[in-house]
Homo-oligomer: A and B are copies of this chain.
């Protein structure tokens, strides 16, 4: 009985059209060209490497896409238990008519060749978007992205600011900033002026959010212009900063971004908790981990200082979810956002979803984003989420609280799409 109820709730959620509010899509090459674009997703390369595949085997610059896939396939047997493998299988089945239940050394080549033919069709991107029901895909744009050559109503710009907050000590980043803005910052005033130009540029191209990922030990606070002046002059002279100076710089830039979010009425996506390069010899994008010793209390000053900025917050550790639920329950400007990275597996999604639906106003929950690099991933990832959402709605609301199916589905739609439009802006 529960199974059929879940199916009854799942069906309308599954057939509704989507907005994906956080991805790493390159809008100029949104869909995959070969199966290597899919199997090259860091989830697969890092899991295969973790299981024993040497990094050099897959990061060898000379190998062809087909060879890369051929080197990964033998390791898939070690991963077939994972949720990630299940996404792979679902993509192959739905997009490439794959009919087996395993990708093996004996069937991968025909899969590769068959999928290649499909991906080479001129309307492949459109096919994937249509089959996945995607109306909009939010991007993660470098601050100096020209935002040219694509439809920004379909592929929605978001200003990614990690480089500005954490990497101004890198000469290449400073140069990119100067080139993008025409400003050579030497003080807090001129740095703010440069950042302002970035916001103007993004605003002119329909930006919907400012976004950043943050390490567990970051704690934003206001920094005086005079304290910032010293450090900014120093870093733009190319001098090396002390740890304390780095902290002043990061906090100054971060706080300035929040101020520009007020001015431009932009939500500020916070993705809290990642430690970069923990596994130094890991594969590309497979080196980052986390430290669960982090608290949203570190963001107390920020949440209090910017009541007019909406902060969609993602946490990396599942042990932070209850804090996120509680802070969203109390702070009008904090909203829950998706299930990020290491927390993006069913066991954690289910528990996060349950707790958020039990304690956060329904208007303050952004259910899911795919975080994808290639368009094909939205389909299996959102399907995973929708199955879990349907299960929670069935068990906790229709059975547990005697809601009608219609009312439960309506709640699901709010979480899945309605809130994205009310928080980031309508899809037009």
Q: Which residue of B lies closest to A48 (CB)?
A: B361
CA distance A360 to B290 in the complex (A): 16
**CB-CB under 8 A for A83 and B295, given A348-B322, A396-B346:** no
The 8 closest A-B pairs by CB, nearest first: A51-B361, A291-B295, A291-B297, A326-B342, A78-B361, A345-B358, A81-B362, A347-B354
CA distance A238 to B108 in the complex (A): 65
Asked if A351 is an interface residue, CB under 8 A from chain B, the answer is yes
What would 5 A/B residue contacts be, using CB atoms closer than 8 Å? A49-B332, A51-B332, A275-B297, A279-B303, A326-B342
Asked if A411 is an interface residue, CB under 8 A from chain B, the answer is yes
Asked if A263 is an interface residue, CB under 8 A from chain B, the answer is no
CB distance A355 to B351 under 8 Å? no
Which residues of A, 283-329, contact B by the 8 Å Cβ criterion? 286-287, 289-297, 300, 303-304, 307, 317-320, 322-323, 325-329
Question: Which of under 10, 10 to 19, 20 to 34, or 35 or more describes the interface residues of A?
Answer: 35 or more
Asked if A278 is an interface residue, CB under 8 A from chain B, the answer is yes
Chain B residues with CB under 8 A of A80? 362
Q: Which residue of B lies closest to A52 (CB)?
A: B332
Asked if A79 is an interface residue, CB under 8 A from chain B, the answer is yes
Asked if A174 is an interface residue, CB under 8 A from chain B, the answer is no
CB distance A279 to B331 under 8 Å? yes
CB distance A81 to B278 under 8 Å? no
Chain B nearest Cβ from A119, distance in angstroms: 26
CB distance A50 to B331 under 8 Å? yes
CB distance A346 to B358 under 8 Å? yes
CB distance B322 to A292 under 8 Å? yes
Asked if A186 is an interface residue, CB under 8 A from chain B, the answer is no
CB distance A323 to B292 under 8 Å? yes
Chain B residues with CB under 8 A of A343? 322
Q: Which residue of B lies closest to A354 (CB)?
A: B347
Asked if A46 is an interface residue, CB under 8 A from chain B, the answer is yes
CA distance A330 to B277 in the complex (A): 11
CB distance B355 to A347 under 8 Å? yes
Query: CB within 8 Å of B: which residues of A?
Result: 46-47, 49-52, 78-84, 86, 275, 278-282, 286-287, 289-297, 300, 303-304, 307, 317-320, 322-323, 325-332, 342-343, 345-348, 351, 354-355, 357-364, 396-397, 400-401, 411
Interface centre among A52, A294, A323 (most CB of B within 10 A): A323
Q: Which residue of B lies closest to A323 (CB)?
A: B292
CA distance A281 to B306 in the complex (A): 12
Q: Which residue of B lies closest to A402 (CB)?
A: B101
CA distance A262 to B364 in the complex (A): 48
CA distance A397 to B354 in the complex (A): 21
Chain B residues with CB under 8 A of A319? 292, 319, 322
Given contacts A52-B332, A292-B319, A292-B320, 9 further A-B contacts (CB under 8 A): A50-B329, A50-B332, A81-B358, A81-B362, A82-B359, A83-B358, A319-B322, A345-B355, A348-B355
CA distance A289 to B343 in the complex (A): 23
A47 in complex: contacting residue of B279, B289, B329, CB < 8 Å? B329
Q: Which residue of B lies closest to A362 (CB)?
A: B81
Chain B residues with CB under 8 A of A81? 357-358, 361-362, 397, 411
Chain B residues with CB under 8 A of A411? 81
Chain B nearest Cβ from A271, distance in angstroms: 15
A347 in complex: contacting residue of B293, B347, B351, CB < 8 Å? B351
Chain B nearest Cβ from A407, distance in angstroms: 8
CB distance A84 to B359 under 8 Å? yes
CA distance A247 to B118 in the complex (A): 60
Q: Which residue of B lies closest to A75 (CB)?
A: B361
A304 in complex: contacting residue of B279, B307, B342, B345, CB < 8 Å? B279
CA distance A332 to B286 in the complex (A): 11
Chain B residues with CB under 8 A of A359? 82-84, 342, 345
CB distance B325 to A361 under 8 Å? no
